[in-house]
Every structure is written in C-alpha cells, then in structure tokens.
Amino acid sequence: MTTHHSRPGSAVDRDWYAWLIDPLPTAEFERDYYEQRLLHIRRQAPAYYAELLSVTDLDIVLGTHAAGHRDIKLVRGDGNVAAREYANDAGRVQPLEVARHFDAGATVIFNQLHTRVPALARLCVALGQRFSSRVQTNVYLTPPDAQGFAPHWDTHDVFVLQISGTKRWSIYDTKVRLPLTGQRFESGTPPGDVSDEFELGPGSAVYLPRGLMHSARSTDQTSLHVTLGLTAFTWAEFLVESVTAAALGEESLRRNLPRDFARAGFPAGERERLFGEKLALVQSRFDPEVVWRRFTDEILATDVPLFTDLLGERLCADPLAPHSRVGRRDGLLTEAVQEDETCLLRYCGRELRLPAGVWPALRFATTVDEFAVEDLPDCLDAEGKLTLVARLLREGVLQRRPRR
C-alpha cells in the first residue's frame, strides 16, 4: 500500500500512466505487480480522480445521449436487471426508470464511457499505448449499502479508480490464474477463502490482475468509480493466429484430420508423427510478422483519442501561415512507413498514402511534439509545407498550437 504525494503537471502534458499510480514508480509496478498481484494505492487526496468524471457527466449521458441498454446497464448483487424494465421496445434507455431502479438499490453501469468523455479517452489511450492493449472503461454508480455483482473474476486486468464515496472490497483465493477470454466466471461458483479486505476511498485506486476473485459493496454513501479494463494480447492468441495464417498459405494444414483417427485401433505413434509434421510446417512456412502486424493494427484502430475539434478547425478564421505552430494530436498513435514509391501513415484504422518525396517531412511531423510549419524539412517548398500541414490538420493527425 502507498500514500499519495501531489505531483504537478497539467492534463495536457501529463504522463497519464504515471499519474494513475503515483507515487509508485511505473517500473516498480511492471516488475512487481503487473499480471502478478493486487496493488492498493491509498491516498489522502479525495479529489485526486475528480477531474476524470462527475455525476453531472453521467446525467448528461443518461438524459441527452439517447443511450441504448448496452450502453447503460442495471445490476444488483443477485444479477442483472432485465432491460425491458428500464428501456423501451426500441432498446432506448428511459432515464426516469433508471433513476427509479437506482432508488431501489440497483447499480447503474455506464459502459464504454471513454467514447464520450475526453478525460477518460486520454487515460485509456495512454494505458493502451504503454501496454499495447485494448483499454475500455466501465463506470459504476452504486447506491448506499448495495452490491452490484456477487463475487467473480474478470478475464482482463483492471484498475479501479474511486471518484467519490467508499466501497468495501473483499478479495478471495484465486481459482484460475490469468484466465483466457473463454475462461469466464460462471455464476454460482463458490468463492474461495477471503484473503484480503479493505475500504477503497475517494482518490484511491486498486489494480487487480485478471483471475483474482473479488466483490465490492458500498458503505453508507453513494459510490462512484471508474474501472479501466486492459484486454491484452496473450501468447495463446498469438499462436492460434499464427496457425490460422499459416493455413491460408499451406494446403496440407487445411486438410481434414485422418478419417479414422477416432477409432480405437488408430496408432498413438501415428498421431504423434502427424502432429509433429504439421507443427514443423507451421514453423518453417510461417512469417510471424503477419500476426504482429495484425495485432498492431488493432491497437492503432482501438486506442484513439476523441476528436472534438474537427469542425472548429475547418471554420478557423486564422489562416495557416509558415509561422503557424502545430503539433501532434495528444494521445494519437501513428505509424509512418515507406512503401515502394510512396509513404504511408497508419492511424485510427485509417491509411493516408502520400508521395515518396514527402517522407522526411511526414516523419518529422509525426515525431516532433510541436513545430512551426516552416520548420519542416526542405524536401518541400514553402507551399508544399503548408499543403502537407493543412492535410494533416484536416485528417486529425495534427492540431494547432497557440502562438508563443
């Protein structure tokens, strides 16, 4: 357990990952806790996470976003509340019904709120980049003295950030270490012995590796917390994808198993020989870069910031000039590569292809935090620099910076 000491830094230039677990050094977390054991960060700073989210944000989403029942769910300790009890026939959530169930003790869950709240999006992007992981948020508003879920484990790692109120957490002996996605908790599975209990107060956080069974109950106050879920790629997934990719180019891997393999007399030695033969084919014929590329593309497409300025940029009255200052969009993952007679920029699941001669300027624009248009390499003339920057602004890769 650790205690908070305040650390300066605005939300714009903040290292969100370091801020999340401060004062524990990130290297210590990765060495001693990640995928291994629980971490409880106890702070005497109730407002530490308050900038991420407020009940006002939840009211806006509930009352104005026409959310569906997959976006907002209701649960009690004994299970989910049926969607028909708080959503209309079209699946649209009815705010008054949600409030009524909250009054009766139901926890309100706002799923994927990082797609609507910029601060949560920035935090998810930062974690996704650091851990090469898909990251999502679930937000839990629990009335006093209530429990949303019975004891369970998750198949992804989680950081729980307590915004307001307090919850009493119980941790149980682990039944499945690092479960795969398919090894989900089955309702009715009895928990093991309680191995730890603690209260998570406002401004504090807890990290739970996947598979750690837990439950939480609010105290005498309404509790609001954010759960960050990290769904990383496992070696099992990598190997499955590798075999599948190899089979696309190797006919013998697409053939059926021997038609008589299930009969009692089929030799065990023949099974072993056939398996070794196919495994050798996978090892000799497959380029693992194919799978690395697919996983990387998924991260580029998934971990994206919210674009909240695209129309404003198009309506900007200040014309772009050589002295105009721009910079990389905060939190945007990009990958620039040279391909044949062109250069390619990948980001957000999109691809932008440009002439090969632009390469030094493109690499500069996507690796330098802030610069003036005229600072671009001279592979482009003044007009070409303006044209490239204007294109990258429209595509959301760059953002304008205020004049110094």
pLDDT in tens, 343-393: 999 999 899 999 999 999 999 999 999 999 999 999 999 999 999 999 999
Residue 126 backbone phi and psi in degrees, to 5:
-60, -45
Half-sphere exposure of residue 333: CA atoms within 13 angstroms, side-chain side: 25
pLDDT in tens, 25-49: 999 999 999 999 999 999 999 999 9
Predicted confidence at residue 75, as pLDDT, reads 92
Alpha-carbon distance values, 319 to 324, 330, 331 (Å):
9, 22, 25
| Model confidence, pTM | 0.85
Q: Containing H/E element for 294?
A: helix 289-302
Residue 381 backbone phi and psi in degrees, to 5:
-80, 180
Report the distance separating Cα 206 and Cα 41, nearest Å. 6
Q: How many beta carbons lie within 10 A of that of residue 342, not counting itself? A: 14
Predicted confidence at residue 10, as pLDDT, reads 52
CB-based contact 40:199 (threshold 8 Å): no
Residue 131 backbone phi and psi in degrees, to 5:
-105, 5
Let me know how long the chain is: 404
Torsion of CA 24, 29, 32, 35, to 10 degrees: 150
Residue 95 token pair: 């705010």
Residue 77 token pair: 């300790």
